[in-house]
Structure 1
Amino acid sequence: MNFQRLANTRGLLHFRFQALALGVMLLGVPGCQPELPGEEWEPEPATVAREMRVANSLTTQALVLNAISTNPTANTLVATGGLAPLFDPVTGNSYLRLQLRDPDAQSFMSYLVGCALPAGHNVLWKDPLTLAVRSWEGKAGLCPQWETGAPSQVCKNRVSSCLLARNNALGRRVELSIRGEDALQPTLFSLENETRPVEHDPDLGNNRVPSYVACTTAQSGMNRDCGWKADFIGRCNAGQEVRLGAGGKAPDQCATGSALGASSGASMMLRVCEGIIGCDQGNTRQLGQSEGTCATTDAAVTFTCPASGFFNVMSAPYDSTLTGSVTVAVETGTPAATTYRLSEKAVFRVREGAYYGNIFDSGALATKVFVEESGRIVGKEQIIQGSVYRKMFSCQAPEWTDAAAYATHRVCALPGSGSNCAAQPVGDCIDYTNRSYPASKCRKEDGSVVAGDWDFEECYDSTGTLWSEPITVFLYEPCGLTSSASSKTCTWRSAK
């Protein structure tokens, strides 16, 4: 489920779901992450091409101290009513509108609606500060009934898991793959057959890569940084030459090579970037670009496969005022291992852990944040030891070198002291030496509804209570939710 891929923001659940300020982690050697049991090198087709990638950029501080979810009155209102009527710009609940004077409450609601409602559905609301009518957009569709009526307990649990999966201490917009199960909706967490490059660079905040933004004036040529579109993602052997095209011959094979791919409409250009995030001209991730090869206007690129083993392709018409399309193809045979149009499973391979529980239990809050009639926001400066949500939990994949340390950094706004956490880390989801509870916190590490996605299912909390709605997060790289690297906290160890 590429929650946009829910960027944990596009998204990362596409949901490529889009985690700390505080602790930096050592990035594992690129390309050396272990494959999960049963996972092949090439992408495996998914049962349904439904985007459940999401982006992860909700800060932990905003999740644990906001005037909606950590306000018992507001929490109860939201948990027992339909989102659209509660926040209707004209007839909505006046108390909730007052609480939206807290910007973190607005951010929380944006992610709640993104998790609960499907794409194409939204909730209108009136900004109490500007009086403008705005919209929170649906994305993952984990609880469609919440749009107009009260959610079921299963719905609340599943959306809670989604919210926890999408937060991180720094608010970095990183795309995730979220996976889970719903026996009544077998395709709810189906993975994408083909997954597209990420359009947001975490180092640029919540901004798109400039090249993905439409041109405001007519421009031409491959050096422009506007008007490009994401094509797909590929994988190759580090250090080997890779050739791909959209109708042209590779520039180093004009005399003997064959045309690769095709294009239609306007003359088209290609740009190739390292990893899964698009790039601008001259960016360090740029591997090559072309506006035509071999004395033609047909584009093709030859580049050296980067150390990460991943690349992505962008396309654009030579003239930004025209339109065209490409079908990119890679050279076959040598290197034989080059694969293009990877699936979500093939791109997001690093299993992080599972998240579960219930945020929407006003009796299980460790603190209260609220907005007074005067507009003053009360409770933002609190430091709460442990989890603010007493019924939210996380377990970590056993592949982390120091799972406990990683978990604290992942779910706590102040990981150094274990404070202002959004959940209680409970240990390894699966202990390979003892798969029984309490050594292993989950009964399964690959649910049967979507076989082969390696999601943790049926997970216990610290009291031995079983939760049946966990969400498992998969990352593209181990330290994607951190801004830098320096300690063992984020080291992904060798497979057992």
Structure 2
Amino acid sequence: MDHSPKLAAFVLAVTALATSACAASLDPEAPAEDAEDAASQAVQTHNALTSNALTSNALTADVLTSSALTSSALTAEALSASALTAEALRDPAARTLLKYIASCALPAGERLTVAVDGARLSFPGELGLAPAWGQEGGSCDGACRSWVSGCVLARVNYLGQKVNISVRGDREELEADKAERAAFPTREATYYGDIFAEQPVYKACLPPGASAIPRVCGPSLEACAIELAGPCDALCDEPTHDGSFPNCRDAVRRPSGKLAVGRTPHAGSVTVFLR
């Protein structure tokens, strides 16, 4: 794998017709290309994971395949050695999801390259939220699953279109500098869950004053692939200095019908800000 310095802050800045080398490199059908480190901390990348690819892919829809993925290293050798993951990657939706998993888990400069039915597919890393998973002998533990899940969920788009977003969380890799905070001032939602669980968890909470997530859910929350858990200020810890909500929790319905806040926080809570 190639290595390049980590970005101190990360912006998923994408135009509708992005044609940069970095954007092109995230096409699993395209040959590998090295991403360029821009003078600014903005990075161009795809941000258009469809709900169908998230919920109906062969990689995480089956519990055995999902377990095989997370219990092994995120490397070409491990994926190819497992009959379950190797077969799952014949599904285009699974390859699309793997693109986002690799982008969230692996650091910039590293890439996962696998062969499927004779085609060489390349998935570059960017955020580095679970770098150990990409090393020989690595695996994805609970913290890894939480951070990668939050990151992947934050990149769902109802129409499969690319938009400009700033992704922030309680991690050095997700710190936003003053310029980024000024360029992306509007807090959209915070995303968290476990996309690898036997019963996958796709959650989001809304900041004060918000009532919808059109980028992710379209016109209706009722049909959204991501469940709205409730207000972030009730479910999460106090916002950090960059406005992101950390340690968000599930809302639990009591026998009386009232909602209570769950005890277990999702460390990998990722907040999205828009222009």
**CA distance in structure 2 between the partners assigned to 1:173 and 1:57 by the alignment:** 5
Helix, strand or coil for the counterpart of 1:114?
Answer: helix
Q: Which residue of 2 aligns with 1:474?
A: 273
Helix, strand or coil for the counterpart of 2:209?
Answer: coil
Q: Which residue of 1 aligns with 2:175?
A: 190
Q: Which residue of 1 aligns with 2:206?
A: 396
Code of the residue aligned with 1:162 in structure 2: it is C
Report the CA distance between 1:113 and its aligned residue.
Answer: 0.1
| Deviations, residues 285-344 of structure 1 (Å, cap 9, x unaligned) | xxxxxxxxxxxxxxxxxxxxxxxxxxxxxxxxxxxxxxxxxxxxxxxxxxxxxxxxxx21
Report the CA distance between 1:95 and its aligned residue.
Answer: 2.5
Structure 2: state its 5+ residue gaps. Answer: 1-8, 27-39, 253-261
Helix, strand or coil for the counterpart of 2:47?
Answer: coil
Code of the residue aligned with 1:4 in structure 2: it is L
| Percent identity for Structure 1 against Structure 2 | 30
Q: TM-score, normalised by structure 1?
A: 0.44
Report the CA distance between 1:428 and its aligned residue.
Answer: 1.5
Q: Which residue of 1 aligns with 2:99?
A: 110
Verify: 1:61 aligned to 2:48, yes or no.
no
Verify: 1:4 aligned to 2:12, yes or no.
yes
Please show how residues 77-96 of structure 1 align to structure 2 within 5 Å: 77-84=68-75, 85-88=77-80, 92-96=81-85
| Deviations, residues 456-477 of structure 1 (Å, cap 9, x unaligned) | 112121221322220000011x
Distance 1:356 1:467, change over 3 A: same
**CA distance in structure 2 between the partners assigned to 1:469 and 1:417 by the alignment:** 22
Report the CA distance between 1:164 and its aligned residue.
Answer: 0.2
- Partners of 1:356 and 1:471 within 8 A in 2: yes
Structure 1: state its 5+ residue gaps. Answer: 19-48, 194-342, 365-388, 431-439, 477-496
Q: Which residue of 1 aligns with 2:231?
A: 428
Code of the residue aligned with 1:190 in structure 2: it is E
Please show how residues 204-353 of structure 1 align to structure 2 within 5 Å: 343-353=179-189
- Partners of 2:102 and 2:112 within 8 A in 1: yes
Report the CA distance between 1:59 and its aligned residue.
Answer: 0.7
- Partners of 2:48 and 2:162 within 8 A in 1: yes
Distance 1:95 1:460, change over 3 A: closer
Counterpart selection for 1:359 from 174, 195, 200: 195
Helix, strand or coil for the counterpart of 2:133?
Answer: helix
Q: Which residue of 1 aligns with 2:36?
A: none
Code of the residue aligned with 2:10 in structure 1: it is N
**CA distance in structure 2 between the partners assigned to 1:138 and 1:113 by the alignment:** 5
- Partners of 2:169 and 2:246 within 8 A in 1: yes
Q: TM-score, normalised by structure 2?
A: 0.77
- Partners of 1:50 and 1:191 within 8 A in 2: no
Distance 1:82 1:161, change over 3 A: same
- Partners of 1:116 and 1:146 within 8 A in 2: yes
Verify: 1:146 aligned to 2:107, yes or no.
no
Q: Which residue of 2 aligns with 1:492?
A: none
Number of matched pairs: 235
Q: Which residue of 2 aligns with 1:40?
A: none
Helix, strand or coil for the counterpart of 2:126?
Answer: coil
Q: Which has the larger radius of gyration?
A: 1
Q: Which residue of 1 aligns with 2:3?
A: none
**CA distance in structure 1 between the partners assigned to 2:67 and 2:14 by the alignment:** 25
CA RMSD of aligned residues (A): 2.7
**CA distance in structure 1 between the partners assigned to 2:64 and 2:153 by the alignment:** 21
Verify: 1:71 aligned to 2:79, yes or no.
no
Q: Which residue of 1 aligns with 2:155?
A: 166
Verify: 1:459 aligned to 2:258, yes or no.
no
Q: Which residue of 2 aligns with 1:270?
A: none
Report the CA distance between 1:417 and its aligned residue.
Answer: 8.2
Helix, strand or coil for the counterpart of 1:181?
Answer: coil
Distance 1:167 1:93, change over 3 A: same
Q: Which residue of 2 aligns with 1:443?
A: 237
**CA distance in structure 2 between the partners assigned to 1:420 and 1:350 by the alignment:** 21
Helix, strand or coil for the counterpart of 1:393?
Answer: strand
Counterpart selection for 1:418 from 199, 213, 222: 222
Report the CA distance between 1:418 and its aligned residue.
Answer: 2.8
**CA distance in structure 2 between the partners assigned to 1:105 and 1:411 by the alignment:** 19
- Partners of 1:2 and 1:54 within 8 A in 2: no
Report the CA distance between 1:151 and its aligned residue.
Answer: 1.8
**CA distance in structure 1 between the partners assigned to 2:158 and 2:106 by the alignment:** 25
Helix, strand or coil for the counterpart of 1:458?
Answer: coil
Distance 1:154 1:412, change over 3 A: same
Report the CA distance between 1:5 and its aligned residue.
Answer: 3.6
Greater helix percent: which structure?
2
- Partners of 2:166 and 2:184 within 8 A in 1: yes
**CA distance in structure 2 between the partners assigned to 1:181 and 1:417 by the alignment:** 27
- Partners of 2:69 and 2:79 within 8 A in 1: no
